[in-house]
Structure 1
Amino acid sequence: MALPQTPDSNSVDYIDEEDFISLEIPMEMAGERLDKVLAGSLPDYSRNRLKTWIEAGAVMVDGKVTKARYLLRGGESIKVFPQEMPEQFAFSPENIPLDVVFEDDSMIVINKPSGLVVHPAAGNWSGTLLNGLLFHYPELKALPRAGIVHRLDKDTSGLMVVARTAQAQTALVRQLQDRTVGRRYLAWVWGDAPSQGKVLATVGRDQRDRLKMAAGSPHGKPAATVFRHLAKGAFQESSVALLECRLETGRTHQIRVHLESLSFPLLGDPVYRKKTPGVAKSLPFERQALHAFALSLQHPVTQELHTWFRLPPADLMELLPRVGMTQANLPQEAVVLQSIQNDPAT
């Protein structure tokens, strides 16, 4: 097969100064599929990427857009117009508003809203917290993961800390590894939960559904969640409980998986729904009812202990009366101390 050619300024096929790769298909390739031939001819690009380009109309056979399964006759001229892939923009700054609770030269504490993905990944290459951090704090581009040291699920709201220096990032990661970072959550669950409890169960990838995590997985990592009962309510005669959960480890979906394993699934959780009552379909709440309301850690430079509080966002506050609860059922230390932290005079 002829080697790929890129056009120069004298090429008759030079279109709008756009680069493309040119291939001439020899007759002995007759009967081969287009995507297979491209994969063999352009080893610098993955088969999936080439297929994406074909489907996007960025590959032309004798001047015509065709399909990946197209059978070549031999003798065709192919032009491939390389396309920028979404992941190329994963670490691009984007003007995404951030609710900054605290910041200094070493770290930033952010109150993440529900719906915001923390880190770019397949399906969410842009519009993430990382993209917003790079816009508001350009210096973070020099740090791994833009200073992010832990995550919250997309639809979990609440407090997160981000490092601004390599020294701070190292210190914060060490605290997380030593389990000295205090992370407390509010969780609304179905069922009549006990006054307190502790879940000790590994968390790992569900062997039957790779998109989910599972408690008690033989290949999972050790995980521990402590909880206490704050309030009891109900929705259409189905019991609801408000729990305060404290993480001793930080596994993916840990609280959601651990509570479901006790038959206390979170209200609104679209994934972990075992023992969810039928009345859940009537409750207008469409994300897991989970909020990281308190964050405690040692400052990476001064070594002082800091604690921040943020009450739940509007959707969770509006959920309270629907399940027979009030703001008085929330941890009152959070109510008082958030007001103090919000007072610029203090």
Structure 2
Amino acid sequence: MTTIRQQAEVPLSAAGRRFDQALAEMFPAYSRSRLSGWIKSGAVTLDGATAAPRQLLRGGERVELDVELEAEVHSQPEAIALAIVHEDAHLLVLDKPAGLVVHPGAGNPAGTLLNGLLHHDPQLAELPRAGIVHRLDKDTSGLMVVARDLPTYTALVDLLSRHEVERQYEAVVLGTMVAGGTVDAPIGRSMGDRLRQAVRDEEDGKRAVTHYRVRERFRAHSLLQCQLETGRTHQIRVHLAHIGHPLVGDPLYGGGLKLPKGASDGLIAALRGFRRQALHAERLSFVHPATGEALSFSAERPADQQALIEALRADLAEHGSEPW
């Protein structure tokens, strides 16, 4: 169990302000809700005595934090292989394979990335979601960042909320796209299927923005580079399907199997055999919350997506730009 012990003096500029409001500014590494809970439990004292969150300050008081972090995650550790790209005392970056679920849930109570993280570092149980600050869908591969302490977790969540974490993806989609662009369309849960997300109006959906550009064009497909400005559930999958170019292999939003005219047996096999969305989180960049260092990581596309792209290239080389 981790113990947090910190002391500080309330600045004179905080005179007349509420205790919980001033505390959030004095200890920005911790969330307002967490600090408020600590005040109520007596883990944060003011001049050696407990105080109410709404107590007004005069400035100059002594604040002391003496907190025992209890387990927030009760899943069991499991020895699951993790492809760790970077690790230090504050965070780790890993390359998640397609097929690995991130969080335990209905139908997946164990065998998840979270279980593997708890085996790798048992102290992650003291953090919300075991330090996982963003997620990838089960069948999306690529880079994720995980916090290893509470201040880093809070800081990374803040960076994500301010769109200061660059997340770049590679996608293979149906149809030949002429140029890149931006999809700016709110996303919310589908009214007809709780497993799906959908483009909704501004009242029902949350703002979602995806930028994309074309890397390669094939006879009936395109290879895209996508960057998230926001991070909604299934965002890239929903947005690209919305503009008529769903991801190859996407079981929820895909447009089914589309074969170019005269497709070779190799391409037919590659397309039929690709049974997940063709989406890979290839680059992740952010400023390290503890050191201030600008970090950037990349992950090679997985073998199945590489094989799919090679089959599409071979088809294009054989047929040229012949219509499909």
Q: TM-score, structure 1 length as denominator?
A: 0.65
**In structure 2, C-alpha distance between the alignment counterparts of 1:127 and 1:275, rounded to whole Å:** 30
The answer to whether residue 227 in structure 2 is matched with residue 246 in structure 1 is yes
Cα drift, residue 122 of structure 1: 0.8
SS of residue matched to 1:324: helix
**Pair 1:263-2:244 in alignment:** yes
Q: 1:277 aligns with which of 254, 258, 262?
A: 258
- Asked whether the equivalents of residues 263 and 275 of structure 1 are also in contact (C-alpha less than 8 Å), the reply is no
Which AA in structure 2 matches 1:242? L
User: C-alpha distance in 2, partners of 1:183/1:212?
Assistant: 22
Structure 2 counterpart of 1:297: 286
- Would the alpha carbon gap of residues 164 and 122 (structure 1) be closer, same or farther in structure 2, given more than 3 Å must change? same
* Equivalent in the alignment of 2:183: 199
2:111 corresponds to:
127
Q: Do the aligned residues in 1 keep the contact of 2:249 with 2:256 (CA within 8 Å)?
A: no
Q: Which residue of 2 aligns with 1:57?
A: none
Match of 2:165 in 1: 181
String of CA shifts for 1:279-302, please: whole Å, max 9, x gaps.
798622110000000000110101
| Partner Cα distance (1:90, 1:317) in 2 | 38
For structure 2, the 5+ residue unaligned runs are: 1-72, 261-266, 316-324
User: Match for 2:294: what amino acid?
Assistant: L
**Which digits, 9 at most, give the CA deviation of each residue in 1:208-245, with x for residues without a partner?**
111111013551111000000000113xxxx1100000
Question: Runs (4+) of structure 1 moved beyond 4 Å?
Answer: 278-282
> Contact between 2:250 and 2:278, CA under 8 Å: does it hold in 1?
yes
CA contact (8 A) 2:175 2:222 kept: yes
Return the structure number with greater relative CO, CA threshold 8 A, min gap 6: 2
Structure 1 segment 2-41 matched on structure 2, within 5 A: none
Cα deviations across residues 29-70 of structure 1 (Å, max 9, x unaligned)? xxxxxxxxxxxxxxxxxxxxxxxxxxxxxxxxxxxxxxxxxx
- Specify the alignment match of 2:311 in structure 1: 322
- The aligned residue for residue 310 of structure 1 is 299
SS at match of 1:116: coil
8 Å contact from structure 2 (residues 114, 130) kept in 1 = yes
Whether the aligned pair in 1 keeps the contact of 2:185 and 2:199 (CA below 8 Å) is yes
Structure 1 residue matching 2:245: 3-state secondary structure: coil
- Between 1:138-147 and 1:212-221, the stretch displaced more is 212-221
CA contact (8 A) 1:232 1:325 kept: no
- 2:217 is aligned with 1:232: yes
> Is the Cα contact below 8 Å between 2:131 and 2:148 reproduced in 1?
yes
Is residue 151 from structure 1 mapped to residue 160 from structure 2 by the alignment? no
- How far did 1:109 drift? 0.1
Q: Does 1:110 align with 2:88?
A: no
State the alpha-carbon separation in 2 of the partners of residues 183 and 90 from structure 1: 29
Matches of 1:290 and 1:193, distance apart in 2 = 17
Q: State the Cα RMSD in Å.
A: 1.9
Query: What letter corresponds to residue 113 of structure 2 in structure 1?
Result: L
Identity of aligned residues (%): 50
Q: CA 1:318–1:274 in structure 2 vs 1: closer, same or farther (change >3 Å)?
A: closer
State whether residues 265 and 275 of structure 1, in contact with CA within 8 Å, keep that contact through their aligned partners in structure 2: no
Q: CA deviation at 1:277?
A: 2.9
> In the comparison of the two structures, how many residue pairs are matched?
234
One-letter amino acid of the structure 1 residue matched with residue 237 of structure 2 = R
TM-score of the pair, normalised by structure 2: 0.69
1:143–1:165 Cα contact (<8 Å) kept: yes
Residue 286 in 1 paired to residue 275 in 2?
Answer: yes
1:168 aligns with 2:149: no
Q: CA deviation at 1:303?
A: 1.0
Q: Distance in 2 between matches of 1:301 and 1:194?
A: 43
- Checking the alignment, whether the CA contact within 8 Å between 1:294 and 1:309 is kept in structure 2 is yes
CA–CA distance in 1 between the matches of 2:236 and 2:137?
A: 11
